[in-house]
Amino acid sequence: METTNSIGTYLIEKLYQNGAHHVFGVPGDFVLGFNKLLEDSQIEFINTCDEQGAGFAADAYARLKGLGAVCITYSVGGLKIANTTAQAFAEKSPVVVISGSPGTNERIKNPLLHHKIRNFDTQYNIFKELTVASTVLDNPKTAFEEIDRVLAAAKRYKRPVYIEIPRDMVNKPGNIDYSLDLQPQVSNPEALAEVLREAANKINAAKQPVILAGVEMHRFGLQEELLKLVEKTNIPIAETLLGKSTISEMHPNYIGIYEGAMGNKFTREYVESSDCLIMLGTFLSDVNLGIFTANLEPKYSIYVTSEKTSVGFHSYDEVYLKDFVLGSLKANIHPRELNVPNDFKPPRDFSVISGKPITIARLFECLNSFLSKDTIVIADVGDALFAGSELFVYDKTRFLSPAYYASLGFAVPASIGAQFANSSVRPLVLVGDGAFQMTGMELSTIVRYGLNPIVIVLNNGGYGTERPILDGAFNDILLWKYSRIPEVLGAGLGFDIQTEDELETALLQSQTHSESFCILDIHLDPEDTSPALKRLSRALGERVQN
Amino acid sequence: METTNSIGTYLIEKLYQNGAHHVFGVPGDFVLGFNKLLEDSQIEFINTCDEQGAGFAADAYARLKGLGAVCITYSVGGLKIANTTAQAFAEKSPVVVISGSPGTNERIKNPLLHHKIRNFDTQYNIFKELTVASTVLDNPKTAFEEIDRVLAAAKRYKRPVYIEIPRDMVNKPGNIDYSLDLQPQVSNPEALAEVLREAANKINAAKQPVILAGVEMHRFGLQEELLKLVEKTNIPIAETLLGKSTISEMHPNYIGIYEGAMGNKFTREYVESSDCLIMLGTFLSDVNLGIFTANLEPKYSIYVTSEKTSVGFHSYDEVYLKDFVLGSLKANIHPRELNVPNDFKPPRDFSVISGKPITIARLFECLNSFLSKDTIVIADVGDALFAGSELFVYDKTRFLSPAYYASLGFAVPASIGAQFANSSVRPLVLVGDGAFQMTGMELSTIVRYGLNPIVIVLNNGGYGTERPILDGAFNDILLWKYSRIPEVLGAGLGFDIQTEDELETALLQSQTHSESFCILDIHLDPEDTSPALKRLSRALGERVQN
């Protein structure tokens, strides 16, 4: 059995070199050989309960480390992560999907092998829809080159890729003797110079310029450069919901999350009255724009992403986000006085009213005072996200959420990926009860690997985001006793919380209980939603009926 | 708002007429309008915790009722059931996937709406790979016709179909004024007559004919006709694993599950020494054929399915399973003496050895004595299935399992679908601990709707099927205290079982505890696997390495 320079070994080396030091997944017979190679390598394989959990964990890992990987078996594993891969595609998270598959020698005569769907290519065809590059490593002559090509695409486009290894190829030697002409994405220098001149003039001439930073600042690792730009120019900075935490939100220039009619009034008015809106790496999605309630004037905007650059109504070809941001640090943009009200800062002290039933608003005030430099907030879809958007986090990329694709069930498994990506943080997981019932039992994985998130379950007995749109029994869910889950898993600390003092006690105990997870079952009135969610639901409701 | 004769109402009527009296799913904003229509209709909507559970439940329902339906939202719901739909495709289960989606009026200018992946057709493109017919109901003029066309395909091919409803189409009136030319699948009468003559002659001339009945006997509802054929001719009948329970396994002509080297010796020798093997509705898959260890002589075979008919080495076009089975009841096949040993019957009395640790073999002996006419056995993948194959069930279609596609996590949610399809049965769920950790918390749905399966968790601390192939830490899972789950869900009865007497006590208590589910945590030695699994794993192991 040749393993040195084998296709499997080469893939593992390349994953490790690119930052994927952990791979998440569930084994299966078509991928066992590769699992064994992984076990013997410097990469740690993390077993989740269900493949869905592995997919979300890998996505979170990718958002923090620049590359994530999920390794599953053919069809019964692969198709379980179609949804998590779709989310990584939609929200630009570079996840490598590695799937085992039947050996090339088993496919002759097209037999009915277990896990086969329509034909042996069905899974591959599906993942072509969900990735920016894909390959089946069925030829040792080209396998190494294919691995390089596909991983390069993940890193360039910050989107998922698909690598399928027929099980008889894992230990086959590959051919290292090739040259792959991977052209880096570099802006046209003259076009870049022109747009930088135009942007600098526009910014310098403006009375109220503002930066609106988006998700690509995280994905392209431009947080430090963004901070330099802010400090060099003193321009205030707002963020989109998906882009939240591009810089520390304790920074004096930070003015909040802009999300159209969903967001807070101060941020909205400041951004919408700007005469020079500098949008950097921002997705113009419905959620980011408050279901298109945003009122942003194109004529006042400078819009730069990895895909498109425009100033006012004209566009520049071949000008890319990273080059623009780096260039702007050297451009002739004048520093200015900071004139935003300094009272836009979090309430850091929280005084408990003993015996008072807890509300969403008071819960998030309390959480704001509880955050520290070591906290990474991971918000699931629903009020966990909308109320969570008003937390002030202490450092860059300390807030993760699926704020565009919006797949319920992200947060608990994402906390696994986040903590493996950065072992110095402790996740604060915000999750609705509906989302928790989808993937919350990945707490099992958390116990197995000794992780310690604090999980806040917003328990309002159903899909709270949907009730204001259109209600019915279909929005109800069973009431679980979430605080009893530690008894099933044999570890963890559970709290059943009705009042403000119970909340404070539980949070203090959770801080000291760092050896395993804590779960706080926060009983909320089903009618109690955050102001942001109320505004969003109203906007969505208008679109349900024709 | 026009709802009479609306597209949504029409779809609901057609689902109900075709037997889908329950629809399984999870709501979401793009499907809420249709959910509301469902709630106001005679169909009952069953909320599961996660869409995966709904997909498996609908699959089980379809296997019992001839049509199942799952209703989910766009992308974040739809892609979560890519895998369950693939299983329905692979194992021929007619599941209707109904997905809400953005309104046609919202898609103009291709905005970044939440849940969108690459473009608005991404989900549709994926489901085209997983279904036999698919449609997007974006045109009121053709919507009714499209619904009829797609549902007809599900019923004809017994495979899943996909119906997407943009949310602004739900309440739009459709156009009833059309004619759809749906040709029924009818055999060529002359070809049918010829194959029936040839088959009858071959059978009559044979010394040891045997029927090998497969999954299509369930899917095409031919169980009663099969029983008549057996009783008319007195030919012994074996079944494939996927086809298990085509007739009562207490029938004197039943000789067991044929699965090559995996199966029991008597059945294997009887089938392989047959000089006339009548395969009816049988998939020649690797699992059914004991990973191709089967030794069946084509020259002795009569092979009839909905797709292909052959005798010896020649094939007949335009001869279909149903016509062949009905025709065979009138064909000149002579009755014969039944000469199979009558000791091939289940051990119906089980004597407990007090304090003796329970083993897989003894567990299934005990379960065999516990089965009754009201039991439907639902086996998940792994030893739950392989050991379960040797249970003797009392009636037709009283054993469900994903014995070809083999997706872990089927059994618990499938029991939901099974009990809604037939409220007179009580499911006995056989599930490994690995599979349970994927979908077992759908017990929540079971509690919510007052169902009462008895769930047997084969707890051996990991993926027992994989250990004999290639072992490593990746085959381990966390030990849950499964018997404590009732404390989280607020209902159900849990048992922690180490010995034979504890097993017997728990089963007796479960029989009387019919108001909710029971869960039996059966602690097994990780090395203890059924003989069938040992044989299978050995066969699979030879194929992992090249």
Separation of alpha carbons A494 and A513, rounded Å:
11
Cα separation, B419 vs A204, whole angstroms: 70
* B46 in any annotated domain: yes
Task: For CA atoms B502, B508, B513, B514, give the dihedral sign.
Answer: positive
Element (H, E) at B292: none
Chain B environment of A479 (Cβ under 8 Å): 490
**B70 to chain A: which residues are within 8 Å by CB?**
none
Residue A539: pLDDT band with limits 50, 70, 90: low
Nearest CA of chain B to the CA of A37: how many Å? 10
Q: Taking 70 as the threshold, does the pLDDT of residue A542 lie above it?
A: no
User: Which residues of chain B neighbour A488 with C-beta distances below 8 Å?
Assistant: 480-482, 484-485, 487-488
Residue A174 inside a domain? The answer is no
Q: Which two tokens stand for residue A112?
A: 């009915």
> Would strands B68-72 and B22-25 be described as parallel, antiparallel, or unpaired?
parallel
Chain A residues touching residue B112 (CB < 8 angstroms):
283-286, 288, 404
Residue A285: the pLDDT is 85
Compute CA distances B289 → A480, B90, B273, B293, B355, whole Å. 44, 16, 15, 6, 39
The amino acid at residue A338 is L
Is A541 a residue whose pLDDT tops 70? Answer: no
Beta carbons of B311 and B195 less than 8 angstroms apart:
yes
Within-domain flag for A339: no
Contacts of A239 (CB under 8 A, 6+ apart): A212, A213, A214, A245, A246, A254, A256, A257, A258
Mean model confidence pLDDT for chain A: 94
**Do A129 and A202 belong together in one domain?**
no
Residue found by looking up tokens 């709630």 in the block: B39
Q: What is the mean pLDDT of residues A128-146?
A: 97
- In this prediction, residues A482-498 reach a mean pLDDT of 98
Strand order, beta sheet including B133-136? B44-47, B22-25, B68-72, B95-101, B161-166, B133-136
My answer on whether B371 and B508 are in the same domain is yes
CATH number, domain of A324, equals 3.40.50.1220
pLDDT digits (tens, 9 = 90+) for B102-121: 999 999 888 888 999 999 99
Q: pLDDT-derived band of residue B546, with 50, 70 and 90 as boundaries?
A: very low
Find the closest chain B residue to A283 by CA distance. B112
Interchain contact, A481 vs B490, CB within 8 Å = yes
Same domain membership, residue A263 and residue A217: yes
For residue B159, is pLDDT > 80?
yes
Query: Which CATH number goes with the domain that contains A489?
Result: 3.40.50.970
Enumerate the residues of chain B whose CB falls inside 8 A of the CB of residue A546: 103, 105, 167-172
Is the backbone of residue A399 left (phi > 0), alpha (psi -120 to 50) or beta? Answer: beta
Arithmetic mean of pLDDT, B233-254: 96
The pLDDT score that the predictor gives to residue B468 is 84
pLDDT score of A295:
82
The answer to whether B46 touches A474, Cβ cutoff 8 Å, is no
DSSP letter for B358, please: P
pLDDT at B444 over 60: yes
B480 contacts A488? CB cut-off 8 A: yes
% of residues, chain A, pLDDT over 90: 84
Among the residue ranges A101-115, B12-26, B241-255, B398-412, the one predicted with the least confidence is A101-115
Residue-averaged pLDDT of chain B: 94
**Nearest CA to B525 among B488, B494, B546, B498?**
B498
Say whether pLDDT at B543 is over 60: no
Q: Give dist(CA B168, CA B110) in Å, integer.
A: 16
Together in a domain, A161 and A297: no
Chain A and chain B share a number of CB contacts under 8 A equal to 273
Question: What pLDDT band is residue A492 in, cutting at 50, 70 and 90?
Answer: very high
Query: What's residue A176's pLDDT?
Result: 86
Looking at the fold, whether A114 and A204 belong to one and the same domain comes out as no
Exposure class string for B253-271: b at 16+ Cβ within 10 A, else e: bbbbbbbbbbbbeebbebb
Contacts of B472 in chain A (CB under 8 A): 35-36, 39
Interchain pair B543, A167: CB under 8 A: yes
Lowest mean pLDDT among A189-193, A342-346, B378-382: A342-346
Query: Hey, are the CB atoms on B487 and A465 less than 8 Å from each other?
Result: no
Per-residue DSSP letter, B213: E
**Which 3 state secondary structure label does DSSP give B496?**
strand
Average pLDDT over residues A69-92: 98
Tell me whether residue B222 is in a domain. yes
Point out the annotated binding site of B for Mg(2+).
Answer: 433, 460, 462
Tell if the CB–CB gap between A76 and B90 is shorter than 8 Å: no
According to DSSP, residue B441 is labeled G
Residue B178 lies in a domain: no
In this predicted model, which residue has the larger pLDDT, A213 or B296?
Answer: A213
Based on the fold, state whether residues A50 and A154 are members of the same structural domain: yes
Neighbours of A538 (CB within 10 A): 15
Q: What is the pLDDT of residue B187?
A: 96
* Nearest by Cα to B143 from B110, B169, B113: B169
Q: What is the pLDDT of residues B386-397, one digit of tens each?
A: 999 989 999 999
Distance of CA B489 to the CA centre of its chain: 27
CA distance A504 to A522: 12
Asked if residue A453 has pLDDT above 70, the reply is: yes
DSSP labels, A309-359: EEETTEEETT--HHHHHHHHHHS-PPP----S-TT-S--------TTPBP-
d(CA A400, CA A409): 13
A478 within 8 A of B489, measured Cβ to Cβ: yes
Beginning with the edge strand found earlier in the chain, give each strand of the sheet holding A209-213 in spatial order. Answer: A254-257, A237-239, A209-213, A276-280, A301-304, A309-311, A314-316
Where in the sequence is the domain holding A534, given as residue range(s)?
360-544
Same domain, A230 and A287: yes
Q: CA-nearest residue of chain A to B72?
A: A474
Partner-chain contact B286 A475, CB within 8 Å: no
Establish if B390 belongs to a structural domain.
Answer: yes
Q: What letter does residue A70 receive in the DSSP assignment?
A: E
pLDDT tens-digit map of B46-75: 999 999 999 999 999 999 999 999 999 999
Show which of A166, A181, A201 is a domain's final residue.
A166
**Where is average pLDDT lowest: A109-113, A225-229, A350-354, B32-36?**
A109-113
On whether residue B94 sits in a domain, the answer given is yes
Q: What is the pLDDT of residue A546?
A: 39
Q: Is the pLDDT of residue B2 over 50?
A: no
> Residues B473-529: pLDDT tens digits?
999 999 999 999 999 999 999 999 999 999 999 999 999 999 999 999 999 999 998
Residues B203 and B161 reside in one and the same domain: no
Alpha-carbon gap: A340 to the closest alpha carbon of chain B (Å): 31
Instruction: Spell out which residues of chain B touch residue A83, defining contact as CB-CB under 8 Å.
Output: 75-76, 79-80, 82
Beta carbons of B120 and B112 less than 8 angstroms apart: no
Q: Which of A39, A168, A475 sits opposite B474 (nearest CB)?
A: A39
Cα nearest neighbour of A405 on chain B:
B115
Predicted pLDDT of residue A430: 98
A129 to B117: CB separation less than 8 angstroms, yes or no? yes
Provide the pLDDT for residue B545: 46
Q: What pLDDT is attached to residue B541? A: 67
Query: What is the structure's pLDDT at A2?
Result: 41
**Cβ contact B488–A484 (<8 Å):** yes
Tens-digit pLDDT profile for residues B131-148: 999 999 999 999 999 999
Mean pLDDT of A10-35: 97
Q: Find the mean pLDDT for residues B453-478.
A: 94
Q: How confident is the model at residue A262 (pLDDT cuts 50, 70, 90)?
A: confident
Task: Tell me the per-residue pLDDT of A341-356, one tens digit each, with 9 for 90 and over.
Answer: 766 777 778 899 999 9
Q: If residue B459 lies in a helix (H) or strand (E), which one and from where to where? A: strand B454-459
Of A288 and A170, the structure prediction assigns the larger pLDDT to: A170
Residues A321 and A366 in one domain: no
Has residue A293 got a pLDDT over 80?
no
Shortest CA distance from A485: residue in chain B? B488
Mean pLDDT in residue range A385-414: 96
Give the chain B residue nearest A433 (alpha carbons).
B49
Q: Is the confidence at residue A91, as pLDDT, over 90?
A: yes
Same domain, yes or no: A162 and A204: no
Asked if B33's CB is within 8 angstroms of A469's CB, the reply is: no
The pLDDT score that the predictor gives to residue A202 is: 97
What CA–CA distances, in Å, run from A117 to A75, A113, A121, B386?
8, 9, 9, 22
Interface residue of A2, A26, A38, A49 to substitute, partner B, most B CBs within 10 Å: A49
At residue B294, the pLDDT reads 79
Confidence of residue A425 (pLDDT cuts 50, 70, 90): very high
In a domain, B544, yes or no: no
Q: Are residues A151 and A201 in the same domain?
A: no
ipTM for the predicted complex: 0.96
User: Could you say which of A166, A200, A227 is where a domain stops?
Assistant: A166
User: Which contiguous run of DSSP H or E holds residue A1?
Assistant: none
- The answer to whether the CB atoms of B36 and A476 lie below 8 A apart is no
Contact at 8 Å (CB) between B429 and B72?
no
Q: How many domains does chain A have?
A: 3
Q: What is the pLDDT, as a whole number, of residue A4?
A: 58
Instruction: Say whether A488 and B490 touch across the interface (CB within 8 A).
Output: no
- Residue A467 pLDDT > 70, yes or no? yes
Judge if B219 and B319 occupy the same domain: yes
- Given a cut of 90, whether residue B260 has pLDDT beyond it is no
Helix (H) or strand (E) holding B430: strand B426-432
Tell which of A166, A197, A214 closes a domain.
A166
